[in-house]
Amino acid sequence: MTVLRHTQRSGFPATLGTAFAVLFSACIGVAQTPATRPVLTTVADIPLPGAAVRFDYQSLDSANGRLYIAHMNDDHLVVFDLATRAVLANLGGFRRVHGVLAVPGANRVYASATGDHKLVAVDAHSLKIVGQAGPITYPDGIAYAPLQHKVFVSDEHGGVDAVVDGATNALIANIPLGGGAGNTVYDPTARRILVAVHRLNQLVVIDPAKNSITARYHLPGIDDPHGIALDLEDSVAFVAGEGNHSLALIDLKTMRILGHPYSVGDDPDVLVFDPVLKRLYVSAESGTVTVFQYRNRALTLLGALQMPHAHTVAVDPRTHFVYFPLEDLDGHPVLRIMQPETR
């Protein structure tokens, strides 16, 4: 156990997905073993609107059965119905959209229109834009602090976490990080914001009430930390390093790294965790999706998939379906729906 040094301050063939299933042999770390069967199989490939260009973040709203998908290079936000497996809307007005976050309790969906240097607020019922906040140099990942009704936005190139008032949609603060902002997430147990900081290789803690940094934790073995996922039941965080295709497992109570870093696909981007199955999915810019089983404070490698441009992933904790928007299959964008092997 490594101490983190702390300093104050269905249009396409379903068989295609299975054909891409491969074992992931470049593995290091604790409790990693190779898979003997595909860890995910394709259920359906659903055609998506727009051009065959890059997608980015997704946000799954289980309560309302929706999946919001940032179609980054198409400048649209796709709204997908999980029950009917149909596109409900394809919303324009989101230039170079990166991040997206559904907040059902506030009836809002937030998206980072990076091309306009703004955070955009959408009414979840009407699907109309109701506010914008900025300027933010390069808005990316998004987190929401419900008690303060504030939105925290990773400004990757600006080196800050931008803070937006959810009631007025006004930019109210910029919190200097000292490096590029990776993903920003809310930890509801400790009521704090966590930000991965590039170059400094730190996990930074922000008090959402005061808009200030309360602690910095160094991440040895993790270069340019970016993606973050949480297991709230067991109070652990998963943080991936873009610079050295690494993954750390962190105890959120002690802020210690558990074991040694694990290996994932090159340039890991988005992480999601299924809290019921205890499955972690790490999607990378290389198209590698690495799947781990979490148990007893350690991760076991189940295997990996290789899919074109599969750098973004979402999971439904009710059905355990896993969602991958793929930008170009035979010249068309599709949403690949997959199911895990649970035997």
203-211 average pLDDT score: 99
Beta-carbon contacts of 265 under 8 Å, excluding residues fewer than 6 positions away, are: 24, 245, 282, 283, 284, 285, 286, 287, 288, 289, 290, 304
Structure tokens at 304: 């990996």
313-325 average pLDDT score: 98
287-302 average pLDDT score: 97
- Candidates 7, 9, 13, 5; CA nearest to 329 is 13
pLDDT at site 318: 97
Farthest CA pair distance, the chain: 54
2 vs 261 pLDDT, higher one: 261
Into which CATH architecture does domain 2-340 fall?
7 Propeller (2.130)
Q: What is the mean pLDDT of the chain?
A: 91
Q: Model confidence at 342, in pLDDT bands (50, 70, 90)? A: confident
pLDDT at site 27: 38
Q: Model confidence at 343, in pLDDT bands (50, 70, 90)? A: low
Amino acid making up residue 205: V
159 alpha-carbon distance from chain centroid: 19
Q: Model confidence at 6, in pLDDT bands (50, 70, 90)? A: very low
- Candidates 284, 204, 271; CA nearest to 239 is 271
Beta bridge partners of 274: 279
Task: Give the least confident one: 8-17, 57-66, 138-147, 148-157.
Answer: 8-17
pLDDT at site 70: 99
**For residues 195 and 160, what is the distance between their CA atoms, to the nearest angstrom?**
10
Residue with tokens 């980072």: 112
Decide if pLDDT at 337 tops 90: yes
Q: What is the pLDDT of residues 104-136, one digit of tens each?
A: 999 999 999 999 999 999 999 999 999 999 999
142-178 residues labelled b (16+ CB within 10 A) or e (exposed)? bbbbeebbbbbbbbbebbbbbbbbbeebebeebbebe
Decide if pLDDT at 201 tops 80: yes
Q: What is the pLDDT of residues 8-25, one digit of tens each?
A: 333 333 333 433 343 333
Amino acid making up residue 82: L
Q: What is the pLDDT of residues 298-308, one digit of tens each?
A: 999 999 999 99
Are the C-beta atoms of residues 196 and 203 closer than 8 Å to each other?
yes
Q: Is the pTM of this model over 0.75?
A: yes
Cα separations in angstroms, 94 against 158, 321, 331, 338? 20, 27, 23, 28
- Candidates 1, 63, 7; CA nearest to 204 is 7
Decide if pLDDT at 1 tops 80: no
Peptide bond into 325 cis (omega under 30): no
- Candidates 27, 86, 97, 28; CA nearest to 58 is 97
pLDDT at site 38: 86
Q: Model confidence at 241, in pLDDT bands (50, 70, 90)? A: very high
**For residues 152 and 294, what is the distance between their CA atoms, to the nearest angstrom?**
28
Are the C-beta atoms of residues 196 and 180 closer than 8 Å to each other?
no
Q: What is the pLDDT of residues 29-38, one digit of tens each?
A: 334 444 456 8
**For residues 255 and 248, what is the distance between their CA atoms, to the nearest angstrom?**
11
Q: What are phi and psi of 115, to 5 degrees?
A: -65, -25
